[in-house]
Amino acid sequence: MNRCLSILLILLFVTCTWQTAFADSALVQYPDNGHYYQRFDTSRTWSSARTYCEGRGAHLATLTSQGEDNFVYQNVGQDNVSIWLGGTDVNSEGNWEWITGETWSYTNWAPERPNNLSPGQDYLSFFDDVPGQWDDSGPPLADETYAFICEWEQQPLKPTAVPTMGEWGMIIFMILAGLGSVYYLRRQRRA
Ligand SMILES: [Ca+2]
Ligand SMILES: [Ca+2]
């Protein structure tokens, strides 16, 4: 096998590995407020997702207008997938708040939501059953893990995708598999 083909195969392999590990959405900017948004596909609890965003200088997305809601859903949302947002009524049942302290006025609840399903649900998400609309989910009923959307009020300074332990494991596995393939091909060529 000639060297160029080998290099091409390795490049293709590295590209596929990279895309597998970083399936998150692109980082997009909403022109009306200048904020940036990105969906992360590693499932986390609402609290863990909140901490993850804050560790990157962002917060879970707060969708305070129809324009912002539509833009975020169309650009970084996904149909039929539950995605955490930055709203909660954990402090006072039925009194929903944005974690940023922004005024809670615009809402986009799915029909018959929020329903605070027994024994309660206190966290906001895009609803997998009703694309583009909101659901109340999470504790105290269950500590679900969903994808989530971070919102930056200024342009992020650092790369936004950080692999988790599982993703590092996948990357290392794929690199070893790639090296094994190269070794095998070289042996075949010599034989
Ligand atoms: Ca917002
Ligand atoms: Ca509730």
State pTM to two decimals.
0.74
Among candidate residues 90, 107, 108, the one with its CA nearest the CA of residue 99: 90
The tens-digit pLDDT sequence of the chain (191 residues) is 566 666 666 666 655 555 544 589 999 999 999 999 999 999 999 999 999 999 999 999 999 999 999 999 999 999 999 999 999 999 999 999 999 999 999 999 999 999 999 999 999 999 999 999 999 999 999 999 999 999 999 999 765 556 666 777 888 888 898 898 888 888 888 87
179 Cα to the center of ligand 2, angstroms: 51
Q: For 57-85, how does the pLDDT look when each residue is reduced to its tens digit (9 = 90+)? A: 999 999 999 999 999 999 999 999 999 99
Amino acid in the structure at residue 118:
S
At residue 137, the pLDDT reads 98
CA distance 86 to 131: 18
68 Cα to the center of ligand 1, angstroms: 7
- The CATH homologous superfamily of the domain defined by 28-155: Mannose-Binding Protein A, subunit A (3.10.100.10)
120 Cα to the center of ligand 1, angstroms: 25
23 Cα to the center of ligand 2, angstroms: 31
